[in-house]
Structure 1
């Protein structure tokens, strides 16, 4: 049985805290990503660059965060969702397996929130697996429209028989995402929820991995002080069996 291990993690742009008390966590996140030991790591709120933070922190990495976080031997794919005064940030995917193709689609619903989805095709154990990295909006109406756009994207870009994983920060603790994605045969792990937010005292699950055409095996959320110090989210790690 061939297994794919996938993690999703909102890294909060590699910085925790506010104002002059904020601290740089990107170096700790580099060790954390390596500890996840995932074949595929889906990341949200990843900075390509930020001129203000680069001036503030003496140890700010010179390379984009996706490349900095990629363990040795991994390929990093990054696409920008949001352009800001001092730089830009977006979604990223780190893969232990060869990347075949990748593309990006803007799913922004209004001018106050710039959002996007990252689509990457990865060859895992010789099988093509499609992965979508998403970060949905804060407003429920926006999420509903973004989910509809996500459905259209899948119908247009992903072959109906191809194994598909959709992972990320869905910003939804109700039933909306599950209900919509179930209609296109995407399923998350059943049973008890795995709270991922807020990291210090997780109460709700905002981060999920949905799958189509793969068999769910295990899901877990690491906990402890080393994790809640690095981001306001905890990572979620899931394992699936590839189709035979």
Structure 2
């Protein structure tokens, strides 16, 4: 079985410069992924201010949908959506979401907020495919390294509790792990691989030399932030039970206008 997945921080549906509404353009762009499952971060479940400002028709066009963003983005593209509310404020809320062309059997949002000023969550969904149920975890970790360490342990505990028998797992999202301190911990605890690292494996001889010398395997996630000129390696896709066929970061003018993060798309094959 082959499955195409994508992860994308959509910046609450507004551009990173001047906060121009981009939800309608995002829907079209996400459709261009051709992905079966899309992991989204910073999704507006409700935003009364932006809805009031951009929801009215202007020059024959509406710039903000009536529905919540995850419902709007899933409509006609994937058909199934789940949302995990993380940050709540007077005029609305936002969080993580999963869009899927496969039925979502169940979903649960785990609150992993490390302090009151930065609400974070891990959205766990089980999707039903013809070959096997797949555990999907949509992740958005905090800005502080110490908090990310605790949130990563919460992620490990969550995966081990729900997929303890080696079931197929996809973990994707915005890890804010620009120094790449978490990949080794996830790999050792869960048996996952990061898609770009899997594609960049060295030869067997290289692996043997590295093992004999005691050197750890080097992980090379992709550069995804800022989208206009990606430099920081913030976004990841980790998998277990899959072979990685291809993985790429989508660059260019279109993606630079839509969000401050560039999306990652990967083609996987169930092992």
Cα distance, 1:17 vs structure 2: 4.1
| Paired residues of 1:34 and 1:71 also in contact (CA < 8 A) | no
Bigger shift: residues 183-192 or 160-169: 183-192
| Aligned position for 1:188 | 194
**Equivalent position SS for 1:69:** helix
| Aligned position for 2:60 | none
C-alpha separation in 1, matches of 2:269 and 2:157: 26
Bigger shift: residues 9-18 or 25-34: 9-18
**Cα displacement string for residues 173-229 of structure 1 (whole angstroms, at most 9, x for unaligned residues):** 223120110112111031354211000100022111101111111100111101110
**Equivalent position SS for 1:36:** coil
C-alpha separation in 1, matches of 2:92 and 2:135: 29
1:203-242 aligned within 5 A: 203-242=231-270
| Aligned position for 1:48 | 45
1:1-244 aligned within 5 A: 2-17=1-16, 21-57=18-54, 58=56, 59-72=63-76, 73-183=78-188, 184-189=190-195, 190=197, 191=200, 193-243=221-271
Aligned residues: 240
| Paired residues of 2:16 and 2:259 also in contact (CA < 8 A) | no
**Cα displacement string for residues 31-70 of structure 1 (whole angstroms, at most 9, x for unaligned residues):** 0110001010000000011111112213321100001111
TM-score between the two structures when normalised by the length of structure 1: 0.95
C-alpha separation in 2, matches of 1:37 and 1:12: 21
C-alpha separation in 2, matches of 1:168 and 1:235: 10
**Equivalent position SS for 1:209:** strand
C-alpha separation in 2, matches of 1:38 and 1:17: 24
**Cα displacement string for residues 151-176 of structure 1 (whole angstroms, at most 9, x for unaligned residues):** 11111112322100100000012231
- Change beyond 3 A, Cα 1:50–1:107: same
- Change beyond 3 A, Cα 1:172–1:101: same
| Paired residues of 2:194 and 2:221 also in contact (CA < 8 A) | no
Cα distance, 1:101 vs structure 2: 1.3
**Structure 1 gap segments, 5+ residues each:** none
- Change beyond 3 A, Cα 1:17–1:182: closer
C-alpha separation in 2, matches of 1:162 and 1:143: 25
Bigger shift: residues 131-140 or 208-217: 208-217
TM-score between the two structures when normalised by the length of structure 2: 0.85
Cα distance, 1:71 vs structure 2: 4.5
Bigger shift: residues 34-43 or 152-161: 152-161
Larger radius of gyration: 2
